[in-house]
C-alpha cells in the first residue's frame, strides 16, 4: 500500500518519493537546488532532540528542514 502524505509525517528510517513542493517561491527554489524535485527519493534520517527540525537524506546529503517547510512537500511513502 502506498500512502500520500506530507514530508513532516515521514517516520525516521522510512523512504518516500517526492510528488510536489508547495512552499513559497524562494524555499521551493532552494529545495530544488538541493536536487529535490518531483520523483526524487528522500528518507528521514534523524530527528533533533526537541523534535524539530528533522534531517533528511537527499541525494547523498543530509539536510535539516523545519516542520513548516517539510510539511509543504508532498510525498508518497515507499513500502518498507
Partner 1 sequence: MGLSKDSMGLKAVDLGLVIKKVHDSDRVIALGGNPNVGKSTVFNELTGLRQHTGNWPGKTVTNAQGNYTYKNTGYVIVDLPGCYSLMAHSSEEEVARDFICFGGADAVIIVCDATCIERSMNLVLQTMEITRNIIVCVNLMDEANKKEIDIDLQTISKRLGIPVIGTAARSKKGLNDLMEAAAQTIQDANKLPAQIQYPDYIETAISNIEPHVKEICEGDMDSRWLSLMLLHWDQDMHGFIEQNLKKSFLTNKRIKQTLDETKKGFACQGITERQIKDDIVSSIVHTAEEVCRDTVIFKNKHYKNKDSKIDCILTGKWTAFPIMILALMGVFWLTITGANYPSQLISDGLFWIEDQLLIFFKWIGAPWFLYEMLVLGVYRVLAWVVSVMLPPMAIFFPLFTLLEDAGFLPRVAFNLDKCFKKCSACGKQALTMCMGFGCNAAGVIGCRIIDSPRERLIAIITNNFVPCNGRYPTLIAIISMFFVGTSIGGGGSILSAVLLTAVIVLGIVMTFVVSKFLSKTVLKGVPSSFSLELPPYRKPQVGKVIIRSVFDRTLFVLGRAVLVAAPAGLIIWFMANVYIGDMAILAHCSGFLDPFAKLMGLDGVILLAFILGFPANEIVFPIIIMAYMTKGNILELDDLSLLKQLLADNGWTWITAISVMLFSLMHWPCSTTLLTIKKETQSLKWTVISALVPTVMGIGACFVFTALASTTFSK
Shortest Cβ 27–partner 1 spacing (Å): 4
Q: Does 69 contact partner 1 by CB under 8 A?
A: yes
Evaluated on CA atoms 37, 20, 52, 9, the torsion sign reads negative
**Structure-block grid coordinates of residue 48:** 533533533
Cα–Cα separations (whole angstroms), residue 32 to 2, 14, 47, 79: 24, 21, 22, 25
Q: Does 34 contact partner 1 by CB under 8 A?
A: yes
- Rule CB under 8 A: choose which of 18, 42, 44, 65 binds partner 1: 65
Interface residues with partner 1 (CB under 8 A) are 23-24, 26-27, 29-35, 37-38, 40, 45-53, 55, 57-66, 68-69
Amino acid at each position: 500500500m502506498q500512502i500520500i502524505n506530507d514530508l513532516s509525517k515521514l517516520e525516521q528510517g522510512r523512504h518516500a518519493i517526492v510528488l510536489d513542493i508547495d512552499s513559497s517561491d524562494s524555499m521551493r527554489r532552494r529545495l530544488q537546488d538541493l536536487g529535490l524535485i518531483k520523483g526524487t527519493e528522500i528518507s528521514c534520517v534523524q530527528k533533533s532532540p526537541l523534535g524539530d527540525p528533522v534531517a533528511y537524506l537527499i541525494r547523498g546529503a543530509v539536510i535539516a528542514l523545519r516542520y513548516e517547510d517539510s510539511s509543504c512537500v508532498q510525498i508518497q511513502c515507499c513500502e518498507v
